[in-house]
């Protein structure tokens, strides 16, 4: 099977006032197209650092990231930005919706950043809102939505540009258990519908179990935590 995303021997160090911390110490990772991987690990173990490198937001100190088998020139900011905008959708713990834009307009932001918004894009955004149970909320501002609803918009936004990969970093961390579980269902359904690769950082064991592969980040390395239910 082809490999959508591969990381080889990633190392990442941060220079801090108290010295250099080596957060990633030889991470190897691979994800096939359309598959899901869950990453768990204690706070500070480097999960966000890893996701940021996989998504081109940050570069490793050493090591390689390969997209479709082709090395991403990780030192090249523009190449990373291209990978980010064309290949990756992000969901963070905080939604980062634009407060003055309606739910629908927020979904169109990533589309707009790549060019003209077409009628088909608007239709797709509307269908996503329907899918997320937000049919009547298209013209609402984020401030008029609940936390769970805001996060549903943020999840849908990550898929708008038809990325090859969605990276979700504790997307339900701010939600109560019931809302988190519901959003987990919606995220997995959207991932399946769109056939997109998904890497999910989560503390939620039940959600992690639904991924095709499970990884645990510890001592700067990814340990294979087995296959999930899928």
Q: Tell me, by CB under 6 A, how many residues bind ligand ATP.
A: 12
Task: Return the residue of 36, 40, 49, 202 that touches ligand ATP, per CB under 6 A.
Answer: 49
Closest alpha carbon to 179 in 95, 99, 102, 104: 95
Verify binding: residue 44, ligand ATP, rule CB under 6 A.
yes
Helical (H) or strand (E) element with 13? strand 5-16
Closest alpha carbon to 49 in 85, 13, 88, 20: 13
16 binds, among Mg ion, ligand ATP, none (CB under 5 to 8 A by kind): ligand ATP
Verify binding: residue 41, ligand ATP, rule CB under 6 A.
yes
* DSSP letter assigned to residue 164: S
CA distance 134 to 227: 33
Q: Which residue is nearest to Mg ion (CB)?
A: 48
Using the rule CB under 5 A, give the single segment among 41-49, 83-91, 102-110, 151-159 that binds Mg ion: 41-49
Nearest distance from residue 21's CB to Mg ion, in Å? 15
Verify binding: residue 20, ligand ATP, rule CB under 6 A.
no
Task: Using the minimum distance from each CB to ligand ATP, give the nearer residue, 54 or 111.
Answer: 54
Verify binding: residue 16, ligand ATP, rule CB under 6 A.
yes
Q: Which residue has the tokens 């990884």?
A: 215
Our measurement of the distance from residue 155's CA atom to the centroid of its chain's CA atoms, rounded to an integer in Å, reads: 9
Task: Using the minimum distance from each CB to ligand ATP, give the nearer residue, 134 or 217.
Answer: 217
Our measurement of the distance from residue 203's CA atom to the centroid of its chain's CA atoms, rounded to an integer in Å, reads: 15
Task: Using the minimum distance from each CB to ligand ATP, give the nearer residue, 106 or 202.
Answer: 202
As given in the structure block, the two tokens for residue 225 are 């935590």
Task: Using the minimum distance from each CB to ligand ATP, give the nearer residue, 111 or 201.
Answer: 201
Task: Using the minimum distance from each CB to Mg ion, give the nearer residue, 48 or 106.
Answer: 48
CA distance 197 to 107: 20
Task: Return the residue of 36, 48, 52, 202 that touches Mg ion, per CB under 5 A.
Answer: 48
Task: Return the residue of 47, 210, 213, 216 that touches ligand ATP, per CB under 6 A.
Answer: 47
Verify binding: residue 48, ligand ATP, rule CB under 6 A.
yes
Helical (H) or strand (E) element with 210? none
CA distance 9 to 93: 27
CA dihedral 131, 56, 173, 197 (to 10 degrees): 40
Site for ligand ATP, rule CB under 6 A: 14, 16, 21, 23, 41, 43-49
Q: Residue numbers of the site for Mg ion (CB under 5 A)?
A: 48
């Amino acid at each position: 099977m082809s490999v959508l995303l591969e990381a080889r021997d990633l190392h990442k160090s941060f220079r801090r006032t108290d010295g250099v911390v080596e957060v990633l110490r030889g991470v190897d990772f691979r994800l096939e197209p359309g598959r899901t991987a869950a990453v768990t690990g204690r706070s500070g173990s480097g999960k966000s650092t890893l996701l940021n490198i996989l998504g081109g937001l940050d570069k490793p100190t050493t090591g390689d990231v390969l997209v479709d088998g082709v090395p991403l020139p990780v030192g090249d900011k523009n190449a990373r930005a291209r990978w980010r905008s064309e290949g990756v959708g992000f969901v963070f713990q905080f939604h980062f919706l634009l407060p003055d834009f309606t739910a629908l307009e927020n979904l169109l932001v990533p589309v707009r950043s790549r060019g003209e918004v077409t009628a088909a894009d608007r239709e797709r955004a509307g269908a996503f809102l329907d899918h997320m149970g937000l049919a009547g909320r298209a013209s609402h501002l984020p401030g008029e939505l609940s936390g769970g609803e805001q996060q549903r918009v943020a999840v849908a936004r990550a898929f708008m540009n038809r990325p090859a990969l969605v990276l979700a970093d504790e997307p339900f961390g701010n939600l109560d258990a019931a809302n988190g579980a519901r959003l987990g269902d919606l995220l997995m359904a959207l991932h399946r519908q769109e056939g997109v690769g998904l890497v999910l950082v989560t503390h939620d064991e039940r959600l992690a179990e639904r991924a095709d592969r499970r990884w645990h980040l510890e001592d700067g390395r990814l340990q294979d935590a087995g296959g999930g239910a899928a």
